[in-house]
A and B are shown apart, each in its own frame.
Chain A
């Protein structure tokens, strides 16, 4: 008898039936799965057919791209020269035109730093250091110092002001939020209740009332001889508001750190303060990076409310531009442009937040 090895030869799988592959099958599975799906699909297709071509006509085909208000009125479509004409005002407000290169340099620095952070070229301490220096640099460039001509804060406006308020707000409110969260999590009963009261009071009321308070009431709180300008008062209001929300995000991170970490560190003889500063907080922050980015987006959107207390940020300038007598009747263009700018910035940030979520807390060890 010969030893004949029996080799198992699997029959190759048959190709999927034609009803399950190809365009038609995809359509049947994803658009016309049943009579309900078919009705929904047809309804949505009808709506899109009614809206999209008309929108496209208005935005592009019938739109005016060069000329002035007069040439816009000859066409039915959108008036883009309006946005071009107002572009400088929308970006910088009434900032002196001959000094416009200064905020422009600050903007370039911001974009470069954002790019480096997004692509993960900067790591660890360098990120924190660079982002802490950036607003100082921006303020010097915009406001003027070291022999540069002073530009009064009442002239700051437009997108520049929105970004500045958000940037300074985020950078100052994160450490403040960490302190509040630590007070709420580790503090003695008195400290803890003070932190809870502060956080809940600020989270419980609308931002507008806090801005009102900063703008109207802060001068009442301070001694008569102390005068703080309106912009700084509003910035302080934004920082305190944002810090209360940041604190709650950070608290979530603190709760995610297993107690064993603290116990191990204490057992090794590391002091309590150092344990919190070098073991707990860094890990907690890594856990909550994605929601922190979410808070940054929220703060950037919230800066639009400063119109109500008299600052002319980006949205304020857009609203003003729409009321210009020379360009009356082009509000839709103004708001669509504003939506495009806000959306691009916020969506870009949210993509970054998702990227951080994908990388996960452990991927950030420098």
Chain B
């Protein structure tokens, strides 16, 4: 569209960058070859600019197909939020569904039983996220301990072995949990063979200490992996800091407390902020596989609840309403945390 006459091209260019040159050349009083040269130069620049613009647009066209995918899979689902305002019951299409306004949102708080369930779900979500945040210093300790080992081969082996659980799925974790802790599992067999217990302990099929168990499985899976960031951080600490500390007579523990830990704080802080902004997003895989009739009250976090309501009970509209609130609160949390981070550290996390 910009290939048509030069005048057109120049006119359109007036709106931006190179256009001012053209304008100046035209407004200058016409006098002799210097001016013609200036005009030619201006035209050349305009052509170059035109080319750049076309080139820039062509570059955009080259990525456009992938941007369409982003629209389809990230932006389009946002329009799905309208289902929260309808009484959508597939296979009846949305156009024939009844518009119910905020009914689903009211339903969450109106009904006493429903309110109680939501309360319990929020409690679980907060407890699990809270426990994760409270234990977020453990990878730091693990990284420091690992860094204190001098034998490189030993360090590598430990690191390899402890990051392995991070790479298996939660289904496999559950399978392992089953092999180890079910009533016929290895731990119960062992305890019974040693005559320490007579009845198998119900590690999995009970409501006791569900939060704690979930925390421990999370740590088992993620601790080694989480420490990699901090190991990278420790590797980046200036050795001169340690030398200076030694000159001042600091022993190993004092060096850890006064050099290593303060140097790791920025990394820790960023990760902590991220986990706070993800407070409502516990994911559902872990809780879904460990969920059973006994522990469902204590294990149902928000993500799992959305699944159970939406897919399990087929209340797609209510599920959408909860999803929507969750996403909005999450974004709000992220913005707050980002603002806080900017205030206190001068750098945002986003």
Whether chains A and B associate is no
